[in-house]
């Protein structure tokens, strides 16, 4: 009988300890989620202000790079994305590549909208890097529809031109046929009248 009471007391105390441990762990998880929400709510403020532990994780560094992009510091954001490539799981790597593509695309389109066609020499490499980043993102996660859409936007701004195999005679013919009709599809920008 004494053994039964001792066994019940031990079981009760262990259930109480397990419940307290689980409650403490859930409280810690809730606090961390609250800190992450504060970071997301204030993208202009550094991560260290609300959640210093978060900047040590790859996910936190991905968030930090996103914040830097939102603040207009795309150079440092791209450095962070580059460092994270080896450490992220495939799902997050697809997001990182997508964010890199967005950074390149927004920088290129910003330059084109400010300076017009004069900035095309500056924007063309950025658009090419954006397309590469979107391709990588789609390689890691083919269901990432936002990357597909932005890839199409980058393609419209600067279509890929793949030269064909030519012999000398067809090259001469091609030089003679360079009219505005043939050059029109290679002009960068968004076509008027398209959806």
**Can you list the positions of beta strands (E) in 83-182?**
none
CATH of 58-160, picked from 1.25.40.10, 3.30.70.20, 2.60.120.580, 1.10.1740.10, is: 1.25.40.10
Question: In angstroms, rounded to a whole number, what is the distance separating the alpha carbons of residues 51 and 20?
Answer: 25
Verdict on whether the full-model pTM lies above 0.95: no
Three-state DSSP state, 161? coil
Mean residue pLDDT of the chain comes to: 77
- Please answer whether residues 92 and 62 qualify as being in contact, where contact means their C-beta atoms are separated by less than 8 angstroms: yes
User: Given this model, what pLDDT does residue 103 score?
Assistant: 92
pLDDT reading at 13 higher than 80:
yes
The residue ranges of every structural domain in the chain are 10-56, 58-160
Q: How far is CA 52 from CA 47, 74, 80, 92, in A?
A: 6, 22, 17, 21
């Amino acid at each position: 009988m004494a053994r039964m009471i001792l066994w019940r007391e031990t079981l009760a105390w262990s259930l109480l300890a397990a419940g307290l441990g689980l409650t403490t762990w859930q409280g810690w998880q809730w606090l961390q989620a609250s800190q992450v929400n504060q970071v997301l709510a204030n993208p202009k403020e550094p991560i260290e202000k609300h959640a210093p532990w978060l900047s040590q994780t790859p996910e936190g560094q991905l968030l930090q790079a996103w914040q830097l992009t939102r603040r207009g510091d795309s150079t440092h954001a791209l450095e962070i994305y580059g460092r994270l490539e080896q450490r992220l799981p495939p799902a997050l790597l697809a997001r990182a590549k997508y964010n890199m593509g967005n950074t390149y695309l927004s920088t290129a389109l910003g330059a084109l909208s400010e300076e017009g066609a004069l900035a095309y020499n500056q924007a063309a490499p950025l658009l090419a890097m954006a397309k590469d980043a979107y391709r990588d993102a789609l390689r890691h996660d083919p269901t990432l529809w936002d990357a597909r859409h932005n890839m199409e936007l980058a393609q419209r701004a600067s279509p890929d031109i793949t030269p064909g195999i030519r012999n000398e005679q067809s090259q001469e013919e091609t030089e003679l046929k360079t009219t505005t009709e043939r050059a029109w599809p290679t002009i960068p920008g968004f076509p008027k009248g398209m959806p």
